[in-house]
Structure 1
Amino acid sequence: MTGSAFSLGEEVELRKVEYKLHGELWKKFTCADFDLKFENWIKIKYLNENADDFDGGVLDVPNDKGGLYMFYVKCNIISGITEYPLYVGRAQITENQNLRKRVKEYFQKYSKNNERPKLTRMFNYWKNDLHLAYFPLDDNEDVISIENQFINSLLLPMNTEIPDTEVKQAIKAFQ
């Protein structure tokens, strides 16, 4: 930032994200078999201090499990209330995919190119404060089902594909 009000305003505007807070969609989320409270997720800083490589905690992400993961921005001004979820995704456990491999792909593939512009934006603007939370799961069907419900219920700003047709059409109608 150069110090002018205009430059600061421009920087702030570029970092604006939209959240859709809709209680009725939240009520549709049903995963009684899993305690998905955020306190039960494993949370790590995603990138190192220079934001040019992974933080050491990424090596602890399981490579023998699938599961859910969420990128979020963490601001330490008011700890515990200034954590902003940006993106939720899934990793199935297959011969070619696991939780660690999948979360590493984001920085390796999307941080510097424009293949998925919202993810590139996530890295450009929040890489120093980007954290990862993950929830290991063993069953691929559970992984898919819960991720779909998360996306349909939370409508996070960096998720572009909404699985539910009705929700997708409703969002598109008002964009």
Structure 2
Amino acid sequence: MVGKHHDIVAQTKRYKGEQHSFFLDLASWKKFKTKYALSWTKIRFESAGHPSIPKERGIYAFSVELSPGKLPAHGYIMYVGITGQDSDANLYRRYAQYLVDQRDQNGRPAVTYMLSNWDGDLFFNYVSLPNKKVDLHKMEKALLNAVRPPVNKRDLDATISAPRAAIF
């Protein structure tokens, strides 16, 4: 069954072509701090990777990367999220939800676009943080403010989100 956003990629490409703007502020990146060791694991986003995702709470980021390839490894963080802060959700379940969103194309338009447009070049990066004392919301907000991924629309500081929303 085709979802309500089944042609979002084609429509968006007609509207804006392949032009994508990214925010690159090394000073903001360097300001990102956390008292927790973040040991990131990266896997290509595809159904075959689902069994390797832990059933723990944590933080995750989607990145688009040309890896491996003829160019040096490089990429960009497109979206940051958390799972398990206020619920029993976990990285394993969240990954499965994104696989369904990719298949059905029925989720949030920007996420649907990301999952469809960069299929095959999208990576799921995650850190398991089973310690419930870790405030995932606080960590997510700090990471969002540092990187400012283009697919994230909420949870940024007002000093960032208001001017970002005003850009046209």
What is the TM-score when the length of structure 2 is the normalising length?
Answer: 0.77
Alignment of 1:14-163 (within 5 A): 14-31=17-34, 33-36=35-38, 40-47=39-46, 54-55=47-48, 57-63=49-55, 65-75=56-66, 76-80=69-73, 82-92=74-84, 96-109=88-101, 111-140=103-132, 141-163=134-156
Instruction: Evaluate the alpha carbon distance shift between residue 94 and residue 152 of structure 1 in structure 2; reply closer, same or farther with a 3 A threshold.
Output: closer
Residue pair 1:20, 1:156 contacting (<8 A) in 2 also? yes
1:85-109 CA distance string (max 9 Å, x none): 2111111166641111012211213
Q: Which amino acid aligns with 2:141?
A: N
CA distance in 1, matches of 2:64, 2:19: 13
CA distance in 1, matches of 2:103, 2:29: 30
CA distance in 2, matches of 1:170, 1:151: 15
Q: Which amino acid aligns with 2:62?
A: F
Q: Which residue of 1 aligns with 2:5?
A: none
Aligned residues: 152
Q: Unpaired segments of 5 or more residues in structure 1?
A: 1-9, 48-53
What is the TM-score when the length of structure 1 is the normalising length?
Answer: 0.75
> Post-superposition shift, 1:45?
1.3
Q: Which residue of 2 aligns with 1:168?
A: 161
Query: Residue 70 of structure 1: SS of its match in structure 2?
Result: strand
CA distance in 1, matches of 2:84, 2:52: 17
CA distance in 2, matches of 1:71, 1:134: 9
Instruction: Evaluate the alpha carbon distance shift between residue 23 and residue 132 of structure 1 in structure 2; reply closer, same or farther with a 3 A threshold.
Output: same
Residue pair 2:101, 2:112 contacting (<8 A) in 1 also? no
CA distance in 1, matches of 2:102, 2:108: 6
Question: What is the aligned-residue RMSD (CA, Å)?
Answer: 2.3
> Post-superposition shift, 1:164?
1.1
Q: Unpaired segments of 5 or more residues in structure 2?
A: 1-12
Query: Residue 43 of structure 2: SS of its match in structure 1?
Result: strand
